[in-house]
Amino acid sequence: MTASRCPVHERFDLLAPDFLADPYAVLASLPLDEAPLFYAPSIGYYVLTRHADIEQVFRDPATFSAAVAQAPLVPLVPEAAEILLAGGHRPQPSMVSLDEPAHARLRKPAARAFSVTRIHAMIPAIEATTARLLDAVAGQDEFDLVAALAFPLPANIVFSLMGVPDSDFAQLKRWCGSRAALGWGRPAPGDQVEIATSMAAYRRYLRDLVERKAGQPGDDLTSALLAIYREDPDRLTREEISSILFSLSFAGHETTTGLIGNTVRRLLEEPGRWARVAARPDLIPAAVEETLRYDPSVPVWRRVTTRPVTIGGVDLPEGAKLFLWLAAGGRDGAVFPEPDRFDLDRANSGQHLAFGLGLHYCLGANLGRLETRLALEELARRYPRLRLAGDQEFAFHPNISFRGPQVLRVRAGEAP
Ligand code: HEM
């Protein structure tokens, strides 16, 4: 195919209320057969919707840099920018937006924490936390599943993995609350200052945690990373350890909250689906994978070109910012037949791109899947007749990359 100029969609805006409410309706309205890759002036990004194009980008890190992965969509007011810099939060604040070789310096030691053995060892803690959280709502006919389980479960697991004392969990959750708005939303100037202040306080907390663990090691990830530092301080500095902790706590939190919320929502949307999964819990992994394809909790990720390149038949200049619409890739009919149908029996759901691909492939993919599976198993065991509470419109946090219902009211249903 001859390379061509890029189509432009003037009105495409991912933070518009109709998009936040139902991005799949907007996706369906786009002329993707003629223009699967287009430019969106509202955000200054090229939007990629085809599975094959997104895969090509992920697999070529030399041409497609990760530098913009966490870049704010709006310029920050000087006060917020200064607070962030003073707090040690740089424009590429953690491994997910670093290219080689800086990325590998952080990824290699962090990956040790995610060995199959270590993840497996977390099962009892995940089960115990799930049971404790569900005990707290036992007997209630109606409750918010996000507040009860989907939000606190991943937060508690990732904080305890890091070695944060239980007594600090509530404070950390408050600091982390609106982080998504900074790199992925359009926060108002006043909000930017507030978020930047929380972010700087959180970074300070993590540096102090590293210092404390240096004096008093425990059986946790921070102490394991400090052991690498003690072996060879040039290989991993203390500042880098706190940067890894920042990555993990951020990446391992809202992402999984969203995945649990989206999976439960999609299963309850159609009563037969929940009943089927409750009767056959061995279908839960398939349900999680199909949700990652059909309604992923990280619907969008970003890259920037390092040289002029042609992709999907379109010429892109050097410095072109790319918006990889992972959720659209999951609905690509060239890979997934009848893509708009949620199908528990789909053979190739796992081909979704919801965890990225290549050098930056999600480090916590197995942990996120495990937490979601165990949460669903216990929920289905306790509530085989769970259903959505009536009359609810789902609300979503206004950002481009983290998606899950903020509130999911469910009804316990009568006992079986
Ligand atoms: C369960 C839902 C999750 C989803 C949908 C998700 C999605 C993603 C995506 C799309 C990326 C970027 C991949 C790329 O650039 O190629 C990523 C990176 C990452 N994720 Fe996840 N994630 C999830 C859970 C987790 C958890 C539980 C953790 C850790 C506790 C985690 C840690 C990370 C880290 C550290 C990176 C950066 C890896 C790197 O730059 O090398 N994620 N994730």
pLDDT tens for 252-294 read 888 999 999 999 999 999 989 999 999 999 999 999 999 999 9
- Indicate the DSSP class of residue 364: T
pLDDT grade for 177, boundaries at 50, 70 and 90: low
In this prediction, residues 346-369 reach a mean pLDDT of: 97
- The answer to whether residue 67 scores a pLDDT higher than 80 is yes
pLDDT of residue 352: 98
CA nearest ligand 1 atom 31, residue: 364
Q: Is the CB of 320 under 6 A from ligand 1?
A: no
Distance from the CA of 412 to the center of ligand 1, in angstroms? 32
> pTM for the whole thing?
0.95
pLDDT at residue 2 tops 70? no
Res 88: pLDDT: 74
Which atom from ligand 1 is nearest to the alpha carbon of 292? 5
pLDDT band, very low/low/confident/very high, at 93 (cuts 50, 70, 90): low
416 closest CA partner among 386, 377, 388: 386
Is there an atom of ligand 1 within 6 Å of 259 CB?
Answer: yes
**Under 8 Å between Cβ of 376 and 277:** yes
Q: How far apart are the two ends of the chain, measured CA to CA in Å? A: 60
State which ligand 1 atom lies nearest to the alpha carbon of 369: 1
- For residue range 189-229, list pLDDT tens digits in order: 888 898 888 888 888 999 999 999 999 999 899 999 999 89
Mutate to test the pocket of ligand 1, among 255, 260, 323 (most ligand atoms within 8 A of CB): 255
- Rounded Cα distance between 250 and 262, Å, is 19
Mutate which of 99, 355, 403 for ligand 1? The one with the most ligand atoms within 8 Å of its CB, which is 355
Give the nearest ligand 1 atom to 326 CA: 10
Kindly tell me if the per-residue pLDDT of 231 is higher than 70: yes
Say yes or no: CB of residue 14 within 6 Å of ligand 1: no
**302: alpha, beta or left? (left if phi > 0; alpha if psi -120 to 50):** beta
Label residue 116 by pLDDT band (50, 70, 90): confident
Look at residue 299 and tell me whether its pLDDT is greater than 60.
yes
CA distances from 279 to 189, 272, 275, 370, 385 (A): 50, 11, 6, 20, 10
Average pLDDT over residues 70-95: 81
Mean pLDDT of 307-325: 96
Q: Is the CB of 213 under 6 A from ligand 1?
A: no
What does the pLDDT average to over 135-164? Answer: 95
In degrees and rounded to multiples of 5, residue 333 shows phi and psi of -65, -20
Res. 83 pLDDT band, cuts 50 70 90: confident
Label residue 3 by pLDDT band (50, 70, 90): low
* Cα distance between residue 222 and residue 230, in whole Å: 12
> pLDDT tens digits, residue range 33-57?
889 999 999 889 999 999 999 999 9
